[in-house]
């Protein structure tokens, strides 16, 4: 009885150790084709040829903060 219990516990431990953990994505590792980090709020702007944060660019260039206005300005 003790042997079968010990073998069962050993099997559970071994199975738990063989499960694949999900790969950990480091913060800031979500760069797009231009190198802009989306999780930090950056998007590519063709007009400035830089990664820009829409709210900062809207304030700097004095346009309404919206996805449409950012896209319109950056094209």
Query: Which stretches of 1-75 are assigned E, i.e. beta strand?
Result: 43-45, 50-52
pLDDT of residue 26: 76
Per-residue confidence of the chain (75 residues) as pLDDT tens digits?
A: 667 766 666 666 666 666 666 777 777 788 999 999 999 999 999 999 999 999 999 999 999 999 999 999 999
The model carries a pTM of: 0.64
Question: Which residues are CB-neighbours of 39 under 8 A, at least 6 positions away?
Answer: 27, 28, 30
Whole-angstrom Cα distance, residue 62 to residue 45?
A: 16
Q: What pLDDT does 4 receive?
A: 72
Q: What is the pLDDT of residue 9?
A: 64
pLDDT at 10: 63
43 touches 73 (CB < 8 A): no
> Nearest CA to 69 among 61, 9, 24?
61
């Amino acid at each position: 009885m003790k042997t079968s219990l010990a073998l069962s516990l050993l099997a559970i431990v071994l199975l738990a150790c063989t499960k694949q953990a999900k790969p950990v994505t480091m913060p800031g590792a979500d760069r797009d084709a231009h190198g802009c980090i989306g999780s930090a709020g950056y998007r590519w702007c063709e007009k400035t040829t830089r990664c820009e944060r829409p709210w900062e660019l809207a304030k700097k260039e004095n346009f309404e903060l919206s996805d449409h206005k950012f896209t319109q300005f950056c094209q």
